[in-house]
């Protein structure tokens, strides 16, 4: 039995097809979101990659910020539930999930059986989210994927004191003008996201094992700064950005089997 999970986020659309609630047979991601053709593109890609048709899906679940806009879904499910289910699938020992996407940051506490028992979310501010990192990468003329490489080269992370993205932007520009090295600036930027995220995680309560999902989990600079802030190892998975879509597949499987 095949189930399809579609995660329509604030920055990217992701889709996963799962066989029998276990095996990922195809996945796709496009940098386009709600209200764009990205949602249909990601569906086309994932079906093409799997060689399957929409009618072969026992269940289609939409999750994420834009889930209400996808009327063809059998279920529209909160991303908190789906991230919890997706992470439980790849890391059954996870008890704290830190999910940082393009527009928000969330911390989920999972119970012994992996179900969500509590969560906290950031306020409506871009600081501490992927958006903050995207803006900073743009100022530094770096691709978002280069941030971890630059951060690893830093000898003395710069201090980015502004908590607001707009003020932090001018702080980075003036530090650039003053000659601060790019790796030190990048490490400072990652550190700033880690400090905000650690405060959020402490509000939710940290239980090991801590796992990071969402697109920002790909950024090793943020992961290692966060490990230092929290004093614990952080697990992640190369498919971490797909955890919501994967969780959607699992939700669909549990409903359909």
Residue 128 in the binding site for ligand ADP (CB under 6 A) = no
Q: Which of 2, 5, 6, 11 binds ligand ADP (CB under 6 A)?
A: 11
Q: Which two tokens stand for residue 231?
A: 């004093």
Complex with ligand ADP: residue 55 or 212, whichever CB lies closer: 212
Select the residue whose beta carbon is closest to ligand ADP and give its number.
215
CB atoms inside a 10 Å sphere around CB 48: 11
Q: Collapse the DSSP code of 180 into the 3-class scheme (helix H, G, I; strand E, B; otherwise coil) and give the result.
A: coil
CB atoms inside a 10 Å sphere around CB 162: 14
Strand partners for 24:
18
CB atoms inside a 10 Å sphere around CB 152: 14
CB atoms inside a 10 Å sphere around CB 89: 20
User: Of the ranges 86-94, 96-104, 154-162, 165-173, which one interacts with ligand ADP (CB under 6 A)?
Assistant: 96-104
User: Of the ranges 4-12, 80-88, 162-170, 231-239, which one interacts with ligand ADP (CB under 6 A)?
Assistant: 4-12
Cis peptide upstream of residue 209 (ω within 30 degrees of 0):
yes
User: In the bound complex, what is the minimum distance in angstroms from residue 120's beta carbon to ligand ADP?
Assistant: 17
User: In the bound complex, what is the minimum distance in angstroms from residue 1's beta carbon to ligand ADP?
Assistant: 26
User: In the bound complex, what is the minimum distance in angstroms from residue 31's beta carbon to ligand ADP?
Assistant: 8
183: Cα separation from own chain's centroid = 23
Query: Of residues 35-74, which lie at the interface with ligand ADP (CB under 6 A)?
Result: 64
Q: Give the CA count within 13 Å in the CB-facing half-sphere of 183.
A: 8
Residue 125 in the binding site for ligand ADP (CB under 6 A) = no
User: In the bound complex, what is the minimum distance in angstroms from residue 132's beta carbon to ligand ADP?
Assistant: 8
Q: How many residues does the chain have?
A: 257
Q: Which of 2, 4, 6, 12 binds ligand ADP (CB under 6 A)?
A: 12
Residue 215 in the binding site for ligand ADP (CB under 6 A) = yes
């Amino acid at each position: 039995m095949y189930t399809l999970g579609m995660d329509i986020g604030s920055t990217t659309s992701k889709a996963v097809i799962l066989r029998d609630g276990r095996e990922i047979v195809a996945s796709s991601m496009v940098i386009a979101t709600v209200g764009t053709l990205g949602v249909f593109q990601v569906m086309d890609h994932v079906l093409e990659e799997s060689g399957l048709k929409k009618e072969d899906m026992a269940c289609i679940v939409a999750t994420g910020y834009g889930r209400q806009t996808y009327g063809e879904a059998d279920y529209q499910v909160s991303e908190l539930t789906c991230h919890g289910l997706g992470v439980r699938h790849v890391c059954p020992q996870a008890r704290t999930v830190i999910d940082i996407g393009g527009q928000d940051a969330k911390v989920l506490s999972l119970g012994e059986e992996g179900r969500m028992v509590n969560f906290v979310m950031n306020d409506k501010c871009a600081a501490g989210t992927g958006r903050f990192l995207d803006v900073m990468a743009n100022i530094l003329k770096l691709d978002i994927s280069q941030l971890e490489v630059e951060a690893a080269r830093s000898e003395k992370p710069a201090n980015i004191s502004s908590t607001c993205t707009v003020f932090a932007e001018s702080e980075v520009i003036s530090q650039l003008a003053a000659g601060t090295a790019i790796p030190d600036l990048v490490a400072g930027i990652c550190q700033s996201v880690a400090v905000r995220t650690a405060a959020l995680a402490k509000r939710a309560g940290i239980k090991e094992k801590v796992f990071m999902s969402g697109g920002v989990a790909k950024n090793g600079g943020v992961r290692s700064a966060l490990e230092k802030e929290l004093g614990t190892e952080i697990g992640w998975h190369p498919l971490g950005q797909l955890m919501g879509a994967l969780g959607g597949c699992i939700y669909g499987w549990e409903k359909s089997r």
